[in-house]
Amino acid sequence: MMLKRILRLAAYPIFFTLLISCNSNPESTNKRSTKFQQYYVQGQTLYQKHCSNCHQSNGKGLGRLYPPVDYSDFMDNNFKEVLCAIKYGISGQLIVNDVDYNMTMKGIPVLTELEVAEIATYIYNTWTHQQGLIDVKDVSQILSSCDN
């Protein structure tokens, strides 16, 4: 009986620690934040306009022609390359989920850094991806290091 009570008491600090650690998430990366919602909604519109022709609205791509973005190990492992590809393009051999693509994707150089961040926030938080907000500050830094 006593042991049960001690265990119950011990649960409170654990509960509060969890609560505090959740709240200490930076506001901007919180998926319910206004900033996240704005990025996400804009990103969705931009994706429909610039990307869905090839990668499809459901992100599944098109056979051997266009690789998927819904579940993509390439996206998980090559974050920088993906951001650079959106603005500057990518070509040559590229393996996505064990399938070999050797095509060319043109970049969209007119996209602003904010628009790239919005698109990235959309594709990295839709389908199987759950990366949280991708801030324009980080995108700006990454884009300045693309070797294009």
**Site of interaction with ligand HEC (CB under 6 A):** 50-51, 53-55, 66-69, 72, 74-75, 82, 85-86, 90-92, 94, 96, 101-103, 105, 108, 119, 123
3-class secondary-structure state, position 145: coil
Residue nearest to ligand HEC (CB): 51
Alpha-carbon span 108 to 40, nearest angstrom: 19
Instruction: State the minimum distance, in angstroms, from the CB of residue 142 to ligand HEC.
Output: 14
Q: Which is nearer to ligand HEC, 17 or 45 (CB)?
A: 45
Residues 6+ apart with CB under 8 A from 61: 54, 55, 67, 68, 69
For residue 45, give the DSSP letter: H
Instruction: State the minimum distance, in angstroms, from the CB of residue 56 to ligand HEC.
Output: 10
Instruction: State the minimum distance, in angstroms, from the CB of residue 6 to ligand HEC.
Output: 51
Provide the β-strand partners of residue 66. 62
